[in-house]
Each structure stands twice: as structure tokens, then as C-alpha cells.
Structure 1
């Protein structure tokens, strides 16, 4: 990861840490003063006419985790004396079907309820907060809850000032979360437009689904739609969960390239789509206890599928899968706390209630890092591929024995040089040379020494010519050297230097001794309007005239047809 990417990761990580602290008060110093809470052994719809037995005492801190129940749940509450009016509210905004009864008298056998039933009240900036009741202390109350959602919440008895302070803390945490999610969605949306990678599309969809889920879970939609029914909010919450499942599956499929790398797992993930769709339908047409349990199973199945595919990808060497595995592990930890508290297997508290949201925030950051790491990896792979392509492309123009350019390069480069010379009016010359008596040398000393002779020749040429003048092996022992911006006189001087340098540099043989090598060179200078083929043909003619004249010489093909040795 680049230094810039690490800096961005640090910023997002800091925001996630602040979010974890700010989602709500981790520990509130609530003045309980001997408050008592007990779950009653009664599940009727009407107020009990006789005092039911207490099934069990609940936490002295008012933390309730009773799991799912298809029947009404009753809780007996005894509030100790306090010096000023207080409010009672339930920390879970989904528990809007809540009724509070005050017990004025008790004869030991029956309940005589003189006060009318008090329904939950929503007022002021707490309109989206929680079920809220005005209470007197001391006092004895019955709380009736009837909901398809998990019975997990904290009963808080606070003053008006404390209530608003808690509400502000709650909104701060939610603002941090949604700011984080929307920032990531915007950033990755821009990357989607630039990179056209559908992994970013599904990641943004996942973020949007997460935001929708927690808007519903925390009751924040009621702020915009105060008249919205509880059933609608629950249906939207579960629909968001289905959206998250589909988006997460698609993101994982695209990110891990499962269709190509792991087709069996890919087909399994595609098979989960209809299950999420069925769940969305159930949320609207058959809301209730069974649908919540269905979504619990689907969520568990989706998370296991994503974790399993990430592990498999990591084992087959997909490096970026480690970020994906870490991200989904954070969400799984949060989801596990949610599921365990949903079924009453984990005590209710800040981390069991908001753990899923904190896990979602951490997962969103880590998934963004996974995408950044994947882009970095793909860029490095692309650069390596381009470098390899360039190397192979270069090799296709290089003679494997001598290391100089080959015939293919000459066929492409010479017409370009001729066109440039025609456009600029500058001279262009060509040297074609051939090792003298090379067949005899090859037959006498063997092919290995013949190869070394060709390599020796090219080494001599490299010592004489400029770096910008390409040496091309034309075939066998023949070589061609295009000389840009060199006229006939300059080209003949270079040809003579090559001839003399070779004659003065005997080849050291592998078995000892040395062999004298000579070459014959034909030189031609391009004439106005002359093509590459015509120029090459004139240099070849000059070469063969030199061979017929006795070899070991340079011959110029003059424009008037006379050759100068």
C-alpha cells in the first residue's frame, strides 16, 4: 500500500475509533437507588387481575435481554424515591408497542389499577428516540411489550436534562457513523466512475444498504416520517438486510473473481440470491416472529459463505483476500453479538446492541482498504505485464545470436527512416556488409566458432558506429547499418573504419590460436524520391561488386552508376 493509502487508512481508522466511542454512552452513571425489575410468569394480552409470580429478577441496571417472543411480555418495575420528576424510556426504538401501567394499591392477591393505561409518548427532539413515559417515584409499574423484534433494551429512569444529554450523545455517534459511510460511498462512487470496476458498484450498494438498515434499527426514519407505522419500519429494516446480503455476495464474487477462480463457490453464492429475495417478500407480506428467525438464518448463511470464499481465495494466493477476510470478520463479530442478544443468549449492553453497527463501520473501512490494495496489486500486475510485453516485443526485433536488431526490425525501421529523410531533406546512407569466406570458415572451424565470428564482428561494429545507428542482421553473415544524417563521404569513412578495425582484430579461437577475419561492405546514399527497397538494392549491388573485385573492401554505389572502391 502507498504512503498516501496508509494515511487515508489512518484517518478512516481514527474515525471508526471515534465512532465506536461515540455511538452511545458505554457506561452511564444512572442513579438506580434500589430500583427492581422482574420478569413475570404471565403472557396474556389483558392486564392480570391477580398478581402473577415473578419468573426471574432482571439486571439491577435495567438491562433486559429476553430474546424473541410471539406472546406479550410483562415486566414488574419498582422505582425507588427520587427528589424530582423523572422520565422512563426504553433504549431500543423498535419497541414501540409498549404500555405502562401504574399499580396504586395491592391487596396481595389482585391488582387494582386505578390509573389509566399509559401509552408510549414521543415529543420534542426525542421524537425518534425511544418509548418514553412520565413516571412518579416511588412507584410500582407493569410494563407490557408486544413486538416481533428482539426484547433487548435498557430501562432508563432519568431527568429531562439527562435524557436530552443522552440523546445528543446518541446523535453524535450516529452522525459519525453515517458521515463515515456516506464519505466512503462518495469516494468509491467517484472511483467507480473512473475505473469502471463493478466491485465498486456493489461496495457502494453495500454501504447504502448498511445505512438504510441502521436508520431503521435506530429509529431515525421516524424523525423524517413520524407517522410511519412500526410494521413499515420493520419491513424496511429487513429489506435493507436483504439488500446488504445481495450486495455483499456480489461484491465478494466480483472482488475475488469467483466466476473464474472458484466456480463452485460462485454458483453457491448465486443460489443465495433467491433466499434473500424471499426474505424481502416475507418482510412485507408476512412480518413477525418467523420472518425475523428466517433472516437470522439467511444472515448466518451469507456470512459463512463470504468468509469461506475469502479463506479459499487466501489459500490459493489471492493476497487482497486478507483484507476482505479481516473486514468480514469484523462484521461477523458484530453480527454474532447481534444474533446472540436477539435470542437472549447474550446480556444486553452497549456492545451487544451497537456491536453490529461498530462492526459495520470497521468492515466498511477495511473493505475500502481491500479495494485500494486490489487496485494497487492490479496496477503492479499490469505494469509487470506491460514490462514483459515490452521485453517480448523488443526480443521480437533482436537477433538471438548477436544481440543486434534482426531483419524484421530493418523491414519496419528503414521505410520510416527513408520517410523522415524525404521530409527533412537530410541525407540517409546504408551500409551492407558480409564476412568474407564465411562458409569456408564455418566448415573449417565448426559452427560454434562461426557463431563466435559473427558475435566478434558485431562487437567491432559497435565500437565504430554511434549508438543511434542500428546494426541489423540481414541474414546469415550479412548485416545492414542505416546511417541517419550521413552523406556518401561520411558513410564510406565509417565503412572503411569497420573494415580496418576488423582486419586488425583477429578472433581468438577456443582451442587456441587466432583467425583473421575480413569483410566486404557496400555503401549507398539515398537519392530524392528513392524508396527503402531501392536504397537497399543499390547497397546490395555495391556489396557484390566489392566481392567480385576481390573482397576486403568498401564500395560506394554512386548516383551516376560509377562505383568507387
Structure 2
């Protein structure tokens, strides 16, 4: 399928990628809006306490505590984590909101002299316009300055703590949804575009690329709480299993894409074997995510993620080292993804703070990577198309050379053996005339013996040039063997053929051959002409032209002889 000329296609693709890149920039801008808002007046301490129940009355003040800012990043924990919160200046109706929708196992308690009581967690916020926010949130009770927050989850404990009223929460979630809309619009556009290419080109690379895009879309639907928003009954466990399964799909499709894109099965078997084993391990990990969900499963996925990214980079570098140019796009794509994943892993294990880049870096990296992978596919298709065109041109050149005489540059006997029967069959169907001229240089053996074989070769080349100056481009000139030539004249009767033959004879007789010694020699030739008779075969027509040629030789050479119907010969000289 042709998608336009090379120049127009290149400009169109350039504008498309500029638009997609602009969408990624807008995505980052919109998502960054939440980071630019003023931080709430909340103080946090993480308690050195791991019990299932809150500390007993009076013991809270004795529990060791470490101060935190509003950005909590504690990594993976196999036990409950307790945070002490102090909220200053909260207004009635405001909410305590955690920015990470994956942190579902949370409980807020108000502790006083009579003990601790739980604050009812609100399922979702919805304002008068119906805009809902799938974030862990609690409506703050009146005069609740000292609070305890219990967190128990298989996911990394990372979130911002904010105190928001309904208007602020509406704005916060609207900005987040706008950023997600840009991301999923980008993914949907790439899916539609590459689906069209898949059906037109039938290239399995596009199939795995579409799988990669679909996995990325599913992952961020789960990570950003959008599935929980619209299907709250599915629960956190199911959301987590779907999220990890989407990670397996992303990784497996990415590995298969790499294998086929870089042709590792043939070009790099050892790396290809590594990537195949990783695909099986990732499929096994997806089963474990459903059967044994726990924070250990997240650790397993972290290890597999590092191995998978290493395989991506290793295969791309080795492909570039082999001289496969489109691998540069692949290397850039995986490098962008590596940055996003490294940020995610650092915050997952509590090694970096929870902020905009650690929260959304993976998503922005995946958007940029999707664009770069699409560019890699486009570059690969263009490269393969150019290679295919070069091969076809070379094949055509070699095919043409197989039908050309290496000395004179005219067609050879092989070409005549195929072209003459085809011309006879065409003439039989159309009823149009077909004529043949057979000729050779007079006394060529004597010339060859006297002047040498080098001059004899030049004499044949000289005759070939004289013939080509007389005949049309569509009339094939063939070297039949030795010094004999055959001219195939389509839609020419015997009168036209005789005229052409005579012009060749006179042209040779009046155009001297300049020898290597600078001497000039005039050559002559004898020509036999035959027009195809109704029902006559190719071999019979060739035989009659050959008979006319030898009649001219016996009659004294330097003449044109027509083999007329009934065997009557007409001679001119």
C-alpha cells in the first residue's frame, strides 16, 4: 500500500510526530499542575510501631517517631505502617486526601482520652457536576488536630497528604483527568494509525507494538485508579492483579517486538534466547499475581523489570553495532522508558521522594517511548523498502545482462529464443505483419585472420552501432552467433524490412571502421529478409531468413535478399 510520495510522506510524518510530541508536553504540563499548588498545613511523623491495632492509651507519646514532609515515600512494607498527623487550621467540610489511588488499605483514626475511633472513609468524591475522584479520602471531623493513619498495602507506600475542600478536590481531579485524557488520546491515536498499517503491510511487528500500547493503556488505567472509579466493586486486589498482568503484557509484547524488529533469531541468537526465556518468566509472574498477590509479587516484578529493560537495551545496542540503523530509534525509546522505570523503582523502595516525576515519570516515559517506537517502525519500513527496491533493481539489471551480448551490447541468442516465438504468437493473434532480417559481415574470417581478433571484436561492435542507428528502439537487435545478427521487425512488412536492410547495408559500406592503428577500413555485409507467412512457426521464419542470407552470399555478397513466398528470391545490391 502506497501512502504518498517520499517527500510528502516524510513531511506528513514529521507533522504527525510533532503533534504527538506536543501532546506529551501538554500531558506533563497538566499533570505538573498538581505539584505547583501550595502544600497544606499538615505535619507528619512515621511511628516506630507495627501493630495491627493503634497504640494503647497513653503509649502513643512514648512511641518513637520520625518527622516527614507531606510527601510520604516509605517503600514496600510487609507490616502495617502508622503515621501521626497534625492538621492545623482545617475548615469544616474539608477532606484529608491521599494522592495515590493504589494505596487502598488505609484507615484514619481520631485518638483522644477515650481511645481511638475510625473516621469513615468516603468511597468517592462527586461534586454537583458529577465529577468523581477515585482517591483515598476522609472528611475531617471537627476539632480533629491529632490523627493516626494506618496504612497496610502490597503496593509501595507513597503519596502526598493534602487537605482539600470540594472546590480544590474538583480542580485537582479535573487537572489529573485532563492529563490522562491527553495520554489515552495519544495511545488511541497510535493504536488506530498502526492498526491501519498492520492490515495494509501484514507485518507482525505492528501486532506486537499494538499489544505493547494496549498493555500500557491498561496499566495506567489501573495505576491511576480509573478502573476503581468506574468499577469500585472490583476491589483493590483485582485492580492490583490486573495492573501486574498489564505489566507482563507490556514486557512480553516489547520483547517480542524487539525480537522481530531486530531479527535476533537470525542475527543475535544468544540475546534472542534470553528474551524468549524472559517471556516465559513474565507469563509465570502474571499467574502468580492472580494466585499469590503480595508485596513479594511486586519485588518479583521489579527484578523481572530490570532484566527486561536490560534485554531491551542490550539487543538495541547490539543491533546498532551490527549496523542496523533503525535500532537507534529503538535504543532511544528504551532509554526513555528506563528513566521512567528507574524513577518508579526508586520511589517503590523508598529511595527517592514521592513527587510529580516519580509519580508520573513512568507514564510520560511510556508516551515518549510509544512515539519513538512508532518512528522506529517507520524508519525500518523505509529502510526495508529501499533495500527491496535495490534488490529489485539489481535483479532487473542481472536479468537484463543475461539477455545482452557482452561484446556488442545488443541482445543475445537467449533473448531471441524467447522473443521470436512470443512475437510470432502475437502476430498470429493480431494478424499484423512480422519480418526478420539476418545478416553478417562479409569475409569476416579473412578480416579476423588479417587484422587479429581484437580488431574483429571491434568490427562486430561497429556493425552493432550501425544497425542501432537505423532500427527503432522497439525492434530488438540480437547477436545470433559469431558474426551473425538477427533483427526482429514487429508490424513491418517485407517492403519496410527491405528498406531497413538496405539502409543498414549502405550505412556499413559508407561508415569506415577506424582500427587501433588509426587506419580506416570499409566493411560490407549481406542481409537476408523474410516476412512471416500465415501459420508459419518461429523456427520456419528464422530458417527462411537464413536461406535468404546464404543466397546473398552465393550471389556475391554485399546485398539484400528477400525470401518471398513460393521460394522466389529478390536481390538488391
Please give the range of the TM-score, normalised by the shorter of the 2 chains: over 0.9
Partner of 1:46: 53
Range that drifts further, 491-500 or 302-311? 491-500
Q: In the alignment, which of 124, 129, 136 is matched to residue 131 of structure 1?
A: 136
2:275 counterpart residue number: 269
SS at match of 1:555: strand
1:250 to 252, 256, 281: 256
Mapped partners of 2:39, 2:528: distance in 1: 107
Report the equivalent of 1:399. 405
The 8 Å contact of residues 469 and 481 in structure 1, kept in 2 or not, is answered as: yes
Partner of 1:109: none
Measured after TM superposition, the shift of residue 284 of structure 1 is 1.4
Instruction: Tell me by how many angstroms 1:224 deviates.
Output: 2.8
1:18-38 C-alpha deviation (Å, 9 max, x unpaired): 1222235252323534x3111
Partner Cα separation in structure 1 for residue 465 and residue 413 of structure 2:
18
Once the 2 structures are TM-superposed, how far is the Cα of residue 66 of structure 1 from its aligned partner?
0.7
Q: What is the aligned partner in structure 1 of residue 188 from structure 2?
A: 182
- Paired with 2:88 and 2:508, the residues of 1 have a C-alpha distance of 112
Counterpart check, 1:305 vs 2:314: no
Per-residue deviation, 1:75: 0.9
Deviation at 1:137, TM superposition (A): 5.3
Task: Please say which of residues 202-211 and 9-18 is displaced more in the overlay.
Answer: 9-18
Matched, 1:549 2:555: yes
| Structure 2 residue aligned with 1:27 | 35
- For 2:120 and 2:317, locate their aligned partners in 1 and report how far apart those are by CA, in whole Å: 50
Match of 1:424 in 2: 430
Match of 2:472 among 463, 466, 469: 466
Name the residue aligned to 2:121: 120
Task: Quote the Cα distance in structure 2 between the aligned partners of 1:472 and 1:54.
Answer: 102
Q: CA offset at residue 70 of structure 1?
A: 0.5
- Structure 1 residue matching 2:567: 3-state secondary structure: coil
Out of 78, 101, 107, the residue aligned to residue 99 of structure 1 is: 107
1:354 maps to 2:360: yes
Deviation at 1:55, TM superposition (A): 3.3
Q: Deviations over 1:403-434 (max 9, x none)?
A: 11111111121222222322333222111001
CA distance 1:17–1:137, shift in 2 (3 Å)? farther
C-alpha separation in 2, matches of 1:414 and 1:456: 24
Which of 77, 81, 84 is the aligned partner of 1:69? 77
Equivalent in the alignment of 1:165: 171
On the 8 A contact 2:34/2:175 being kept in 1, the answer is no
Paired position in structure 2 for 1:36: 43
Query: Displacement of 1:564 after TM fit?
Result: 1.3
Q: How far off is 1:436 after superposition?
A: 1.3
Provide, for residues 344-398 of structure 1, a one-character-per-residue CA deviation record: whole Å limited to 9, x for no partner. Answer: 1111101101100111111111111111111111111111111111111211111
Q: Distance in 1 between matches of 2:144 and 2:40?
A: 12
SS at match of 2:40: coil
1:525 lines up with 2:531 in the alignment: yes
State the alpha-carbon separation in 2 of the partners of residues 355 and 137 from structure 1. 38
Note the alpha carbon deviations across 1:283-331, whole angstroms, 9 max, x for none.
1121112111010000010010011100100111111111111111111
Alignment of 1:134-533 (within 5 A): 134-135=139-140, 136=142, 139-533=145-539
> Does the aligned pair in 1 maintain the 2:34–2:172 contact within 8 Å?
no
CA–CA separation in structure 2 for the residues paired with 1:54 and 1:47: 14
1:472 Cα deviation (Å)? 0.7
Q: Partners of 2:459 and 2:570 in 1: how far apart?
A: 28
SS at match of 2:138: strand
Q: Secondary structure at the match of 1:56?
A: strand
Moved more, 443-452 or 139-148: 443-452
Secondary structure, in 3 states, of the residue corresponding to 1:229? helix
Gaps in structure 1 of 5+ consecutive residues: 106-111
CA contact (8 A) 1:89 1:130 kept: yes
Query: 1:327, 1:364 within 8 Å by CA — same for their partners in 2?
Result: yes
Unaligned 5+ runs, structure 2: 1-8
Tell me which of 84, 87, 96 is aligned to 1:88: 96
CA contact (8 A) 2:121 2:139 kept: no
Farther-moved stretch of structure 1 (510-519 vs 290-299): 510-519
**Equivalent residues of 1:122, 1:128 under 8 A apart:** no
Structure 1 residue 485, shift from structure 2 partner: 2.3
Question: In the TM superposition, what is the alpha-carbon distance from 1:83 to its structure 2 partner?
Answer: 4.5
Greater shift, 90-99 or 13-22, is seen at 13-22
Superposed displacement of residue 138, structure 1: 6.0
Q: CA deviation at 1:521?
A: 0.6
How many residues were matched structurally?
555
Runs of at least 4 residues off by over 4 Å? none
**Alignment RMSD, CA only?**
1.6
Following TM superposition, by how much is the alpha carbon of 1:251 offset from its aligned partner in structure 2, in angstroms?
Answer: 0.7
Which of 65, 82, 98 does residue 55 from structure 1 map onto?
65
Deviation, structure 1 residue 145:
0.3
